[in-house]
Chains A and B, each alone.
Chain A
Amino acid sequence: MTALWPFIIAGVADGAVYALAAVGLVLTFRISGVFNFAHGSVAAASAYVFYELHVNHGMAWGWAALITFVAVGVGGGLVLERIAFWLSDAPTMLRVVATVGILVALLSFLTGHYGSQSLFVDPYLPQGGVDVASTRIQYSQMITFAIGAVGTAALYIFFKRAKLGIAMQAVVDNAPLVSLGGTNPVLVRRLAWMIGSCFVSVSGILLAPDVGVDVNTLTLLVISAFGAAAIGAFNNLPLTFAGGVAIGVVSSVMAYKTASVDSDVVQGLYTNLPFIVLVIALIAYPRRYLVERGVERVRRLRPAPVFPVPVRVLTVAGGLTLALILPSWAGAKINSYTVGLCFVVIFAGLALVLWTSGQVPLGQMAFAAIGASTFAHLQNHNTPWLLGLLLSGFVLVPIAAVLAMLAIRLSGVYLAILTFGFGILIERLFFTTGLMFGSSNVSEVGRPELFGLPTDSDKGYYYATLGVAVLCLALVAAVRTTRLGRLLRGYGDSPAAVRAHGADTTVMGVLAFCASAFVSGIAGALLAGVTGSAAGSSFSFTMSLTMIAVLVACSVFTLGAPMPITLSILAGLVYQVSTAYFTNQSYIDYQGVVLGLVAIGVACAPGIRASASGLPRLVRPERPPGRSPARARWAAVAPRSAS
Chain B
Amino acid sequence: MTRNPDLTLRSVTVRFGGVVAVDGLSLHAPAGAITGLIGPNGAGKTTTFNACTGSVPTVQGSVILGDLVLDKHASARRASLGLGRTFQRMELWDSMTVEQNLELGIECFHAGSRPWDHVLGRRRQRGSDRRSVEEAVGRCGIGELRGRTVGTLSTGQRRMVELGRAMAAPFSFLLLDEPASGLDAAESEHFGTVLASFVADTGLGVLLVEHDMPLVAAVCSSIFVMEFGRLIFAGTTEETMASDVVRAAYLGEDKDAAKDGAHA
The answer to whether A and B come from one shared complex is: yes
A636 & B213 in contact (Cβ 8 Å cutoff): no
- CB-CB nearest in chain B for A630: B42
A638 & B17 in contact (Cβ 8 Å cutoff): no
Which B residues touch A638, using CB under 8 A? 40, 250-251, 258, 261-262
Which A residues touch B112, using CB under 8 A? 502-504
- CB-CB nearest in chain B for A306: B95
Which A residues touch B111, using CB under 8 A? 483, 487, 502-504, 507
Q: Count residues on chain B whose CB falls below 8 Å from chain A CBs.
A: 73
B105 within 8 A of A: yes
B141 within 8 A of A: no
- CB-CB nearest in chain B for A635: B261
Provide the bound-state CA to CA distance between A262 and B241, in Å.
81
B251 & A181 in contact (Cβ 8 Å cutoff): no
B264 within 8 A of A: yes
B259 within 8 A of A: yes
Tell me which of B57, B79, B151, B258 contacts A502 (CB under 8 A).
Answer: B79
Provide the bound-state CA to CA distance between A227 and B117, in Å.
37
- Chain B window 56-88, contacts with chain A (Cβ cutoff 8 Å), 1 for yes, 0 for no: 110000000000000000111101100011010
A505 within 8 A of B: yes
A136 within 8 A of B: no
Which B residues touch A483, using CB under 8 A? 107, 111, 117-123
B41 within 8 A of A: yes
Tell me which of B16, B95, B123, B153 contacts A174 (CB under 8 A).
Answer: B16
Tell me which of A507, A631, A640 contacts B114 (CB under 8 A).
Answer: A507
- Determine which residue in A169, A297, A498, A609 has the highest number of CB atoms from chain B within 10 A of its CB, and name it: A498
B55 within 8 A of A: yes
Do A635 and B257 contact each other (CB < 8 Å), given the known contacts A288-B57, A490-B104?
Answer: yes
A486 & B107 in contact (Cβ 8 Å cutoff): yes
- CB-CB nearest in chain A for B151: A610
B217 within 8 A of A: yes
Provide the bound-state CA to CA distance between A303 and B89, in Å.
17
Report how many A-B pairs have Cβ atoms within 8 Å: 202
A626 to chain B, nearest CB (A): 16
A237 to chain B, nearest CB (A): 14
Tell me which of A176, A180, A493 contacts B92 (CB under 8 A).
Answer: A493
Provide the bound-state CA to CA distance between A78 and B132, in Å.
53
B108 within 8 A of A: yes
A634 & B40 in contact (Cβ 8 Å cutoff): yes
Provide the bound-state CA to CA distance between A623 and B38, in Å.
26
B114 to chain A, nearest CB (A): 7
B211 within 8 A of A: yes
- CB-CB nearest in chain B for A180: B42
B126 to chain A, nearest CB (A): 14
B118 & A634 in contact (Cβ 8 Å cutoff): no
Which B residues touch A609, using CB under 8 A? 94, 151
Which A residues touch B17, using CB under 8 A? 166-171, 173
B252 & A502 in contact (Cβ 8 Å cutoff): no
B119 & A174 in contact (Cβ 8 Å cutoff): no
B128 within 8 A of A: no
Provide the bound-state CA to CA distance between A101 and B14, in Å.
35
B94 & A496 in contact (Cβ 8 Å cutoff): no
Do A486 and B19 contact each other (CB < 8 Å), given the known contacts A493-B93, A497-B91, A511-B119?
Answer: no
A490-538: which residues lie under 8 A (CB-CB) from chain B?
A: 490, 492-494, 496-508, 510-511
Which A residues touch B79, using CB under 8 A? 499-502
B230 to chain A, nearest CB (A): 15
Which B residues touch A181, using CB under 8 A? 19
- CB-CB nearest in chain B for A298: B89
Which A residues touch B198, using CB under 8 A? none
- Chain A window 145-177, contacts with chain B (Cβ cutoff 8 Å), 1 for yes, 0 for no: 000000000000000000000111111011011
B108 & A487 in contact (Cβ 8 Å cutoff): yes
A501 & B252 in contact (Cβ 8 Å cutoff): no
- CB-CB nearest in chain B for A633: B41
A291 within 8 A of B: yes
B76 & A503 in contact (Cβ 8 Å cutoff): yes
A635 & B262 in contact (Cβ 8 Å cutoff): yes
A612 & B154 in contact (Cβ 8 Å cutoff): yes
- Determine which residue in B257, B262, B264 has the highest number of CB atoms from chain A within 10 A of its CB, and name it: B262
- CB-CB nearest in chain B for A181: B19
A170 & B16 in contact (Cβ 8 Å cutoff): yes
B155 within 8 A of A: yes
B264 & A636 in contact (Cβ 8 Å cutoff): yes
- CB-CB nearest in chain A for B260: A635
B213-227: which residues lie under 8 A (CB-CB) from chain A?
A: 213-214, 217
B204 to chain A, nearest CB (A): 16
A497 & B252 in contact (Cβ 8 Å cutoff): no
Provide the bound-state CA to CA distance between A636 and B113, in Å.
43
- Chain A window 386-398, contacts with chain B (Cβ cutoff 8 Å), 1 for yes, 0 for no: 0000000000000
The 3 closest A-B pairs by CB, nearest first: A303-B95, A610-B151, A169-B17
Given contacts A167-B17, A487-B118, A504-B77, 6 further A-B contacts (CB under 8 A): A288-B57, A493-B95, A496-B87, A502-B79, A502-B169, A640-B263
Q: List 8 A-B contacts (CB under 8 A).
A: A176-B42, A177-B21, A177-B42, A486-B123, A511-B118, A610-B151, A612-B152, A641-B259
Binding site for A on B (CB under 8 A): 16-19, 21, 38, 40-42, 50, 53, 55-57, 74-77, 79-80, 84-85, 87, 89, 91-96, 100, 104-109, 111-115, 117-123, 149, 151-155, 165, 169, 211-214, 217, 241, 250-252, 257-259, 261-264
